[in-house]
Amino acid sequence: MSLSFVVSKSDPTGARRGRLTTPHGTVETPFFMPVGTQASVKALTQEALEDLGAEIILANTYHLYLRPGHETVRKLGGLHQFMSWPHAILTDSGGFQVFSLSELRKITDEGVCFRSHLDGAEHLLTPEKAAEIQLALGSDIAMVLDECIETPAPRDRAEAALKRTSEWAKRARNYFHECAQRNGDLQQWQFGIVQGATFTDLRRESARQLLELDFPGYAVGGLAVGEPHEITCEMTAEVAALLPRDRLRYLMGVGRPEQIADYVALGIDMMDCVLPTRAARHACLYTSEGRVLIKNARYAQDQRPIDPKCTCSVCRRYSRAYLRHLFAAGEITSAILATHHNVHFYLDIMRQIREAIEFGNLANFSSEMHARYAEGPA
Query: Which residues in this chain contact Zn ion in the complex, by CB under 5 A?
Result: 310, 312, 314-315, 341
Question: Which listed residue (11, 146, 269, 272) is catalytic?
Answer: 272
Q: Check: CB of residue 207 under 8 Å from CB of residue 218.
A: yes
Nearer to Zn ion, 221 or 276 (CB): 276
Nearer to Zn ion, 102 or 287 (CB): 287
Q: Check: CB of residue 259 under 8 Å from CB of residue 228.
A: no
**CA–CA dist 183, 188 (Å, integer):** 12
Catalytic, 272? Answer yes
Closest CB 53 distance from Zn ion, rounded Å: 13
Closest CB 336 distance from Zn ion, rounded Å: 13
Q: Check: CB of residue 28 under 8 Å from CB of residue 88.
A: no
**CA–CA dist 224, 233 (Å, integer):** 10
Cα distances from 213 to residues 191, 252, 333, in angstroms, run 10, 20, 47
Catalytic, 92? Answer yes
**CA–CA dist 171, 144 (Å, integer):** 9
Number of Cβ within 10 Å of residue 371's Cβ equals 11
Taken in order 166, 5, 179, 212, the sign of the CA dihedral is negative
Widest Cα–Cα separation across the chain: 64
Write the DSSP string, 282-328. TTEEEETTEEEETTSGGGTT--S-S-TT--SHHHHH--HHHHHHHHH
Closest CB 341 distance from Zn ion, rounded Å: 4
Give the list of residues 6+ apart from residue 79 with CB closer than 8 angstroms, or none. 39, 59, 64, 73, 85, 89, 91, 137, 138, 139
Strand partners, 124: 113
Question: Which listed residue (11, 92, 146, 262) is catalytic?
Answer: 92
Active site residues per annotation: 92, 272
